Amino acid sequence: MARRVNLAHLYNPQILEKDELTENFVVRLDIFKRLYQEISTVGMKYPEQHYVIQGNQGTGKTTLLLRLSYAVENDPSLRDWLVPIVFNEEEYGIRRLYKLWLRLAELLGEKQECFRNLGEVMKELSQQFPEDDEFERAAFKLLSDSLHREQKKIILFIDNFGDMLSKFNKDEAHRLRKILQTSADLRIFAASSRTIEAFHDYKHPFYEFFKIEYLKGLNHEQTEELLLKLGERYQLKDFTSTLQQQRGRIEVMRRLTGGVIRQMVILFEVLVKEKNTDAFELLECLLDRSTPLYKNRMDKLPPQQQEIVEAIAHRWDAVSVKEISERTRMGSKIISAQLNQLVKSEVVFKIHTTTKNHLYRIKDRFFNIWYLVRLARNGSIGRVQRLVNFLDYWCSRPAVGPDSDSTAPASADYFNQYLPQLADSDTALSQVLPQLCPEIMGLMAQQQYPPLLAFFNAQDAQGRSIADQLKPLYYALMQERKEEFPNEYLRMGEELESTVEEILVQVQSQQARRA
Amino acid sequence: MRNIVGQTPRGTDFFKRSAIIKKIYRRLEAGNHIFLSAPRRAGKTSIMRFLEDNPQEGYAFIYINTEDVDDLEDFFRLLSEELLDSEAAKKMTQLVESSKGLFAAFTEKITKIKLWDLEVQLKQGEPSTYKDEFQDLLKKLNTRKFTIVIMLDEFPVTLEKIHKKHGEYQAVHFLHCNRALRQEANQGIQFIYTGSIGLASIASKLNATAALNDLNVLEIPPLSTAEARRFTARLLKAYNVKFEDGSIDYLLSKLQWLMPFFIQLVVQVLIDEYETRRKTIDQKFIDQAIEKSSTHRNHLYFVNYYTRLEKSLPPEEAKVAKKILLEIANKTEVPLDAFEEHPHSRRILEMLILDGYINNNQNAYRFNSPILRDWWKKYGKD
């Protein structure tokens, strides 16, 4: 009998039982093995390499840290001398370095009998040292002496490490770096959902100090593997055939969400419940599940930043300060100042161009889509719908052979015939794509750019930009012509990258055939 | 050999740089106290740790990181404790009979200072200081049989912190105390100072460069091509990455600036790409990896080179620095006298060299890294 699909732990892998988490850990095996080997093959004779795992929310950082900690606990060759300590995401109270040692002493005491009183002894020590920095030194010495006495070492798994580190002052950062560089008693494996600025700040003690492992989104194969293994785990008999039928749509969702594991697990849940859902309905299910997170993100922004984020999100592709100013009527100085904050908090991503005017886009691309579908007006849903339709066509199309090379005439007028159809309805695009898409790629292969540029610059009868309706093809053209338009292709969002790459590969193979 | 980033590689993870190690010994043999100068991540600490872990016959090294010290007495307390705790002290008491008594007396005095600090009620008369006791010990130790080298890492950070906490007078005093320590210590006691920020520029701001003029400055150069070839091959082999003959030389010709850290960054990209693609590394593979490192992860790395100018220099000077760098990037090389009309150009150029942006070898300014130069040409506009 099929097991009930329960994904309540999605945001809190800590609540999963050890065995359940281990059993559910079916992707990211490569990085797990690599890091585990790194832990298990060194005896920590010298101060060891410290790691930070960086990835967007939902990419599996917390789960990976927990999986590593359980692996250490279960390894007979490690557990006698190496104590894994997990600091969960909610350790907000650690604002000073001495508090890190206090909390560590408490957790160590909970974990191992021989350290049961360590936390209390450390607290008593604080009476002797009224100055924080003196107490911190004494506390670390006590911790270090206790570890030596018991012949143990610690491996610390710290989530949201960037937040913790940003609370320490510079003297504390110097002190922590010195400890990590000179003490072989402890080792850190941390995680962070944002880039930790200090690691790239030449003047900061932690400049390039940690080795960073990036958790990227799942690729096509990894996504299928995840879904298959989830199907097996929940003993769903006909899930393989669902997977076969929905292969193209699954790939569309993967591209739009960036392959974030959390979204792919939600996708699994939706696929189990709704077997015959179309691509846009699938997207809406994923967006609904993300609403609390994204709404909170938007609500937390100060009003001016909200307005700027809305302006950028509305445009979808990257925009300049001038373009934001036109939409918001805010002065460019104010916008630049707020953008600096938004870039720092990683809501917005800054793209350097070849001019002084840089471009800005929403960093979390799925958040941008959520905004367009759930908050924006004026036909924004339709714009997303058309991209979904394009991707649905692209990811589900049969393999293209040499015979399908297009022979469309190189004339701007020829393409104008499509304008009424494109204006007709959002779904009309799906009907014209099997003919239009190969024709555009065919002309690109022949390097007949002027009619294509004219077509993309046109608008349909409802005043909608053709470039916006056929984004992947437009950006493939811009990429191809980047000598002529050096900054236009930089506007492209990451959700289009792989599709654009595939279009260009196909164009190049057509060119090779013609040659 | 693992690709260690940030942390100090020790033991089999350390890539031995024989040339610079020999150079250090030669300078020590000539009786010099040394200041090791290099940009951050150039491998200063790992070289010092190697000396400590593998001393030549007749030497003992003590590595001390002072970056968490912001007070003169605290500095000498740390030095006293580290010396007492060191292998060098153990070795000395085994070899030189008279040192046993000296160390025992020193321990007693240090304990008294500690107790004086802790037990307020016992305070009578003037206490001794860590500084005086440490200086005294270094004068008395008989070092005929071997040399003790005290290596002080992140010394400029300590100087800056003392300046910030106690003011200019104390910071200058601290530099002079260190100079007195070097001059008054017995011949077989030598010092190596180093740090990731420029000691000379801080001393210059304090008008105290005279307190450093006995230090012999030794620059840590990038790896030679032969060293870089061996280093890269060892790293790739350690991760079972297959590569075509000649591909390492191709990579090095692209990098040009053969700082170990810079090589490690690109090698890490190669390892990651290899794990994804499982394709033997050839020239095309390398071109793609370099393109990737300058557009993705290391994009941040390059952007930081740009933004840190604003943090390191006053706004007007940061502007001049950007102008200078853009000109060097566009022209590939610029004569040494080209920037004389810019205000403060000498100081700015010194900082750009020290922080690893450019070099002035071969009578011209050039970017150290052609990858950074290309990035600058494209994106380094103000």
**Closest of A457, A451, A426, A421 to residue A439, by C-alpha:** A451
Please state, in angstroms and rounded to a whole number, the distance separating the CA atoms of residues B202 and B105: 37
DSSP 8-class letter at A83: E
**Closest of A215, A249, A508 to residue A397, by C-alpha:** A249
Residue owning tokens 């370095």: A97
**Closest of B130, B139, B155, B153 to residue B188, by C-alpha:** B139
What is residue A404's predicted lDDT score, i.e. its pLDDT?
Answer: 57
Please state, in angstroms and rounded to a whole number, the distance separating the CA atoms of residues B224 and A162: 37
Contact assessment for residue A391 and residue A256, using Cβ atoms and an 8 Å cutoff = yes
In this structure, the dihedral spanned by the alpha carbons of residues A100, A102, A107 and A111, taken in order and rounded to 10 degrees, is 130
As a whole number of angstroms, the longest Cα–Cα distance in chain B is: 76
Nearest to B67 among A45, A177, A207 (CB): A177
A201 to B308: CB separation less than 8 angstroms, yes or no = yes
Chain B residues with CB under 8 Å of A343 CB are: none
Nearest to A356 among B308, B378, B381 (CB): B381
Please state, in angstroms and rounded to a whole number, the distance separating the CA atoms of residues A151 and A80: 9
Q: What six digits make up the tokens of B244?
A: 């075509």
Contact assessment for residue B238 and residue B254, using Cβ atoms and an 8 Å cutoff = no
For B305, which residue in chain A has the nearest alpha carbon?
A202
Please state, in angstroms and rounded to a whole number, the distance separating the CA atoms of residues B60 and B232: 31
Which residues is A54 bridged to in the sheet?
A192, A214
- What sign does the CA torsion over A201, A205, A209, A212 have? negative
User: Does residue A182 belong to the interface with chain B, where contact is any CB pair within 8 Å?
Assistant: yes
For B11, which residue in chain A has the nearest alpha carbon?
A46
Please state, in angstroms and rounded to a whole number, the distance separating the CA atoms of residues B16 and A138: 36
Helix (H, G, I), strand (E, B) or coil at B332: coil
Pairing between strand A359-362 and A348-351? antiparallel
Contacts 24+ apart (CB under 8 A), B24-27: B24/B51, B24/B192, B24/B218, B25/B56, B25/B59, B27/B216, B27/B218
Other Cβ atoms within 10 Å of A246 Cβ, number = 22
Query: Which parts of chain A sit beneath pLDDT 50?
Result: 1, 402-403
Name residues 272-301 of chain B within 8 A of A (Cβ): 275, 297, 300-301
What is residue B79's predicted lDDT score, i.e. its pLDDT?
Answer: 95
Distance of CA A341 to the CA centre of its chain: 20
Contact assessment for residue A227 and residue A269, using Cβ atoms and an 8 Å cutoff = no
User: Backbone phi, then psi, for B33, in 5-degree steps?
Assistant: -95, 140
B161 to A201: CB separation less than 8 angstroms, yes or no = no
What is residue A90's predicted lDDT score, i.e. its pLDDT?
Answer: 64
Helix (H, G, I), strand (E, B) or coil at B298: helix
What is residue B199's predicted lDDT score, i.e. its pLDDT?
Answer: 86
pLDDT per position as a tens digit, B170-220:
999 999 999 999 998 888 899 999 987 778 888 888 889 899 999 999 988
Chain B residues with CB under 8 Å of A210 CB are: 5-6
Contact assessment for residue A429 and residue A392, using Cβ atoms and an 8 Å cutoff = no
What is residue A403's predicted lDDT score, i.e. its pLDDT?
Answer: 47
Contacts 24+ apart (CB under 8 A), A71-76: A71/A32, A71/A36, A71/A39, A72/A39, A72/A40, A72/A155, A73/A18, A75/A40
**Closest of B230, B231, B239 to residue B272, by C-alpha:** B239
**Closest of A470, A290, A318 to residue A389, by C-alpha:** A470
pLDDT per position as a tens digit, A439-476:
999 999 999 899 999 999 988 878 888 999 899 999 99
B68 to A175: CB separation less than 8 angstroms, yes or no = yes
What is residue A5's predicted lDDT score, i.e. its pLDDT?
Answer: 56
What is residue A400's predicted lDDT score, i.e. its pLDDT?
Answer: 56
DSSP H helical ranges for B256-296: 260-277, 283-295
A203 to B379: CB separation less than 8 angstroms, yes or no = no
Other Cβ atoms within 10 Å of B224 Cβ, number = 12
B40 to A208: CB separation less than 8 angstroms, yes or no = yes
Shortest distance between the Cα of B97 and any Cα of chain A, in A, equals: 31
Pairing between strand A153-158 and A186-192? parallel
What is residue B159's predicted lDDT score, i.e. its pLDDT?
Answer: 93
Chain B residues with CB under 8 Å of A194 CB are: none
Please state, in angstroms and rounded to a whole number, the distance separating the CA atoms of residues B378 and B299: 12
- What sign does the CA torsion over B53, B241, B266, B275 have? negative
Alpha-carbon distances, residue A107 vs A14, A94, A157, A428, B262 (angstroms): 15, 13, 12, 61, 39
Please state, in angstroms and rounded to a whole number, the distance separating the CA atoms of residues B300 and A201: 10
Query: Which parts of chain B sit beneath pLDDT 50?
Result: 296-298
Chain A residues with CB under 8 Å of B8 CB are: 46-47, 181
Q: Report the interhelical angle of A380-396 vs A279-300 (nearest 10°).
A: 130
DSSP A356-413: S--EEEESSHHHHHHIIIII--TTHHHHHHHHHHHHHHHHHSPPP-GGG-----S-HH
Shortest distance between the Cα of A47 and any Cα of chain B, in A, equals: 8
For B157, which residue in chain A has the nearest alpha carbon?
A174
What is residue A97's predicted lDDT score, i.e. its pLDDT?
Answer: 95
